[in-house]
Structure 1
Amino acid sequence: MGGCDGESTNVCIRLFINLIRWLPVIFVTAIVGWAYYAYVYQLSILTVESLSLQILYLLVFHILLILFVASYYQTVFAPLHKPPAEFYITRDCMEELNDSSEDNNQSDILQRFVQLQGLPIKVRAFEGGVRYCPKCKCIKPDRSHHCSICSQCVRKFDHHCPWVNTCVSFHNYKFFVLFLGYGFTLCLWGALTDLPYFIEFWQNNTVNNRVVFGQFNVVFLFFVSSMFCLSLGCLFFYHLLLTARNRTTLESFRPPLFLHGPDKRAYDMGIFRNYRQVFGSNPFLWLLPVYTSDGDGVNFTTRQLMESREAVRLLDCTDEEDDEDFFNRIV
């Protein structure tokens, strides 16, 4: 009976924790619901007198709102992708690790497993060995990290965001950036279109201090839009900068470690190539909340490898030109 009571208690605790984790998402949903009522009904329909302005306000607002909600939904509910199956150690390897008591021996065992599996591992742990997750029992792919909140290793881990109740990682990073961008644009549009009526309210309020319910919604809408516009704008432009440098939030504070040492610019392929890695090869789909990211979240070309390839290509071209000049001189 005691065991059953303990299991029930643990289940209740987990359910309570999961409910707490969803509170920020519920809060965002509630704010968006109230803002829709305040902007569409109180501002656009009841306050704005010009029919052309009403149509313009409602059209732009609904386009931005649909893109924002779709991006937010994709960010929240995009599945987290674990490392591929070949990164999880086998039973034989696990037995070797359990039998080995020294760290050096365990590092050699993991290194041998990586070589046998042919895993594309370049990033190293702090001590220089293979990055291994004892909780997931797997080799960590490059740029992957274990999230203690989601209880799993996540590909190209950026950070765990409580406002979306999930990890921002390889498979939802584009949606997260779009969520920030459309949220910033939507709040900016709401604040700018609400500003004239906000100013008019304060001018009239010097004569009449009575505030009706509709006026309160219009005034409060300006404060909320401005506040979220500022916060979302800072995050949006920060992540645009990170994308331009092909760097995650975690890598900006703790650069990846290679055999040649830490390198913050390890994955910087140039601005266009960096954006194409996140948003895809078709620029017409960049602004749409559909999955278009390049790659698999496991294999990443480093700047050093790209420069080596470019050097080899230039040498090959030079050799071909020298051969052609030599042939022309002979003729």
Structure 2
Amino acid sequence: MSWYSKIYVAVREYRAKHRNGGWILTRCLNILLLTQLFFLWMTLYFYINVTVGYYVQSPVQATIYLIICSFLFVMSMWSLAKTLFTRVGRVPERYRPSKELEDRLKAVTPFENNRYVVEKSTAEQLKQQNIILEEMCTFCKVVVAECDQVGRLKYCYECGHLKPDRTRHCSSCGKCSIKYDHHCPWINMCVTHANYKYFLLYVIYTSLLVYWYLLTSLEGAVRYFIIQKWKEDLWKILYYLFSFVAGGVFGYYPLGELLIFHYQLIALNETTVEQTKPAVLRFDNAADYNMGKWNNFRSVFGWGLWMWPIESNEQDGLHFDIRYVNTQQRNRFVRVEEEQSSTPPSCESSTS
């Protein structure tokens, strides 16, 4: 569990006992988000009034600077708004089994320290659990390709439902999210299938905004020494000094690091959690979701409107193409989910 997950868990536990104080603490979790917004708006204000409005001499140059900066700022704020106000992708109700099946599963799962500990299950218990989980899939009329490290279908004991492929339980939120990437303390919410594109666009446009500000504001710092209004413009150069240090650090980490890291993830079609704990797919332990860089890029940004924070995803966050490596096993798995169908889903004689 990460450091911020421990904070979220502690706040949830405190709020359960102290409603008013817990509500205040919950709002305080937005401190990193509010800090970002404050510095971004301050940067825009200073850039317009000092760099463009005072130090830049050419009206044409000032106009170009202002247009580019405004575009990057608007796109950054638009992407952030879409990230924050897009509902986090949660597991649909159809993945929730009957109470009888849930009770049967819990009865054959070790329970310690107020939680179910699958890792301590015996071989016989694991066998019984998998039988019950297969019954759950039939009951819910769903088919999943992922399993855990011991070959057992994935089920969340806390949320009480089967886990669709690439779904993870967020320890910070206490809920499962479909195609879960990570819980980001910088925006105080989960990054999942629903808002991953918007989150990446926010990182990209904010990075470009910071780099553009640093590059073009160098002229203002140089002109301070040319104009030589040492006392009158002292506060300007001090702010430049502060913003160059803060922008340089922030532009490198977390923004620069995030850009490189998520580019690597997209190239492999992995999520943040899958890089540390790779998905295990039934019938072929070497299989993965990597369908080639272009297809991986399209699975995140969609088709056409990739640079705009507009819904363009072609996937539902529950089903994903799989690249099977074992050619003898690749035809054993088929995903069929028809809510209106009277027959249970099949798991054989086709290709996923």
Bucket of the pairwise TM-score, normalised by the shorter protein: 0.7 to 0.9
2:203 touches 2:258 (CA, 8 Å); kept in 1?
yes
Q: 1:33 aligns with which of 36, 41, 51?
A: 41
CA–CA separation in structure 2 for the residues paired with 1:214 and 1:17: 36
1:181 touches 1:233 (CA, 8 Å); kept in 2?
no
Partner of 1:229: 251
Partner of 1:53: 61
Partner of 1:131: 154
CA–CA separation in structure 2 for the residues paired with 1:29 and 1:257: 39
Q: Which moved further from structure 2: 156-165 or 223-232?
A: 223-232
CA–CA separation in structure 2 for the residues paired with 1:202 and 1:77: 45
Q: What does 1:1-331 correspond to in 2, within 5 Å? A: 9-100=17-108, 103-104=125-126, 105-201=128-224, 212-231=234-253, 232-260=255-283, 262-263=285-286, 266-281=288-303, 283=304, 285-304=305-324
Counterparts in 2 of 1:7 and 1:70: CA distance versus 1, 3 Å: closer
2:281 touches 2:288 (CA, 8 Å); kept in 1?
no
CA–CA separation in structure 2 for the residues paired with 1:278 and 1:180: 14
Letter in 1 for 2:182: H
Counterparts in 2 of 1:306 and 1:242: CA distance versus 1, 3 Å: farther
RMSD: 2.8
CA–CA separation in structure 1 for the residues paired with 2:320 and 2:22: 36
1:255 touches 1:262 (CA, 8 Å); kept in 2?
no
Counterparts in 2 of 1:101 and 1:254: CA distance versus 1, 3 Å: closer
CA–CA separation in structure 2 for the residues paired with 1:218 and 1:148: 40
CA–CA separation in structure 1 for the residues paired with 2:84 and 2:139: 37
| Helix, strand or coil at the partner of 2:186 | coil
Q: Over residues 25-77 of structure 1, what are the superposed CA-to-partner deviations in whole Å (9 max), with x where a residue is unaligned?
A: 11111111211111111211122222112111111100010001111111122
Deviation at 1:216, TM superposition (A): 2.4
Counterparts in 2 of 1:307 and 1:271: CA distance versus 1, 3 Å: farther
| Helix, strand or coil at the partner of 2:316 | coil
The total of aligned residue pairs comes to 302
1:161 touches 1:167 (CA, 8 Å); kept in 2?
yes
Name the % identity: 26
Q: Which moved further from structure 2: 84-93 or 221-230?
A: 221-230
Deviation at 1:274, TM superposition (A): 0.8
| Helix, strand or coil at the partner of 1:303 | coil
2:324 touches 2:330 (CA, 8 Å); kept in 1?
no
| Helix, strand or coil at the partner of 1:288 | coil
2:284 touches 2:324 (CA, 8 Å); kept in 1?
no
CA–CA separation in structure 2 for the residues paired with 1:45 and 1:204: 15
Q: Unmatched 5+ residue regions in structure 2?
A: 1-13, 111-124, 332-352
Q: Which moved further from structure 2: 27-36 or 192-201?
A: 192-201
| Helix, strand or coil at the partner of 1:277 | helix
2:284 touches 2:326 (CA, 8 Å); kept in 1?
no
2:283 touches 2:330 (CA, 8 Å); kept in 1?
no
Q: Which moved further from structure 2: 85-94 or 25-34?
A: 85-94
Deviation at 1:95, TM superposition (A): 3.1
| Helix, strand or coil at the partner of 2:146 | coil
Counterparts in 2 of 1:135 and 1:101: CA distance versus 1, 3 Å: closer
Counterparts in 2 of 1:308 and 1:78: CA distance versus 1, 3 Å: farther
Counterparts in 2 of 1:45 and 1:19: CA distance versus 1, 3 Å: same
Q: Over residues 95-143 of structure 1, what are the superposed CA-to-partner deviations in whole Å (9 max), with x where a residue is unaligned?
A: 3234446733233211221134332311111222111111100111111
Deviation at 1:8, TM superposition (A): 8.5
Q: Unmatched 5+ residue regions in structure 1?
A: 1-5, 312-331
